[in-house]
Structure 1
């Protein structure tokens, strides 16, 4: 069983076989290279796909900086850095598959929308929060005092300019009680979800994926609401009842091209038992590696 907690990654691991290379991005409270999280996943990937090249993104000069940037460096800046890393990696020139864990999943989705070359082939979202979150019950590696401070900021000041600029989690904080404020002041999620202005490049680039695979954890106690892992969210105006992606205006109006992707069988919705980012490797191998990562 694997547990990886959310952030961004860039340590390069090599391989010589002809399998499509893989790029990974970690989530909040994690980093690129810990042996007990993404390091273990990289090792398992090499066992399942011998010799596959894996680039685990590190945003910053050190592992500690990488971890800090997952909290305090605006996603747009992280994505720009990730784009430069990927473009400069000669092993990825012909394209790559991508695996994003929690927060890293929506960052990789933004990456394909904003940085389409080299091409991303398949995007695997492992517990990603594509419609944002409304709650932060676990702050990963931060102290309880720091965690409590972040929660207070998000609950009361998520859309204030300086909070949006300095706290990553505020940029995908989605308050269903204040949809207008969210759409007006969210500096990351509202943009990549085409909530106000329609960026046709975002649609075209996202639809260039062969498959966009969304993994939901059925017993997730970390992500609120868990429906966001399948692009669902709370119904507007309250925070009790949820709606599926297919019931949302985002889908009905096809603001992001997801309806067309679903019609074309590019969207895949998978679920697995367990809490956030906890899964059995044999399940991952059967449901993700064999159908999407061995091409």
Structure 2
């Protein structure tokens, strides 16, 4: 090969490398967090595969608690959520692919965890937070547990026994976002996770609001819950103290058109990853730019 040919080949290779790097870096990386009874590379792997196929070169990672799928699965029931947030923050900070920021997708309780990460771990910056089916005002009941019958029954028995008993609060994930509308004061006093990230305790943690309003967008289920003292009538987010007094910045996000409350037909997390809704409402507005 003569010198001119060698020069042309070098130019072509360099040109292809530039194109590849441009494609690779054109999309903001995505961090996913799974829900109860799932694992980092379990059922949500279909979302990872879909995004990688649709958005060429995108970096998608999924947070795993523990060293294997079994440990990750049990962490969705039996690992303190504050510890999970702390561990996930360390994982995200250590990933060089995320150093310039990332978008986040949380599935069910994974949405609460990612919101806590946004509030507690502002670096590297979370840009868009997409919470699919997140129970941001908590749960009062445990429907459609996706784990084995044995572990689901165990969780229900523990919650019925006493969600706000300190040992249960410290060790049972679902107790940490259990919100009893019949015992609001007990919930605020004893909840070690949800009441904290919703800034329901005194004194308020101003950094939670400061950090959350840095998001470009928060796309979520609707932050609704039962009116205090009963378990039938549900209030709108805008009627809640959380919004009116703007404890975590939702009102400010809403007023600047960065709070997007979306709904879809179907049961909890019942959407088709290849379907029109997911593409039009999630991928195109939040992940494609």
Q: How does 1:20-169 map to 2 (within 5 A)?
A: 20-34=28-42, 37-143=43-149, 145-169=150-174
| Larger relative contact order (CA 8 Å, sep ≥ 6) | 1
Q: Greater Rg, structure 1 or structure 2?
A: 2
Q: Looking at secondary structure, tell me which structure has more helix per residue.
A: 2
Q: Any unmatched runs of 5+ in structure 1?
A: 1-14, 215-228
Matched, 1:294 2:288: yes
Q: Matched residue of 1:272: which SS? A: coil
- 2:232 is aligned, of 218, 240, 249, to 240
Alignment partners' CA distance in 2, 1:149 and 1:207: 38
CA distance in 1, matches of 2:26, 2:253: 28
CA distance in 2, matches of 1:146, 1:24: 24
RMSD: 1.1
TM-score, reference length from structure 2: 0.89
1:129-174 superposed Cα distances (whole Å, 9 cap, x missing partner): 000000002221222x332232122123000000001100000000
Is 1:187–2:192 an aligned residue pair?
yes
User: How far off is 1:17 after superposition?
Assistant: 4.1
Deviating above 6 A after TM superposition, structure 1's stretches of 4 or more consecutive aligned residues are none
- TM superposition shift of 1:247: 0.8
Superposition TM-score, scaled by structure 1 size: 0.87
Aligned length: 264
Aligned to 1:176: 181
**Which segments of 5 or more consecutive residues in structure 2 lack a partner in the other structure?**
1-22
The aligned residue for residue 222 of structure 1 is none
Considering fraction of residues, name the structure with more strand. Answer: 1
- Distance in structure 2 (CA, Å) of the matches to 1:111 and 1:49: 25
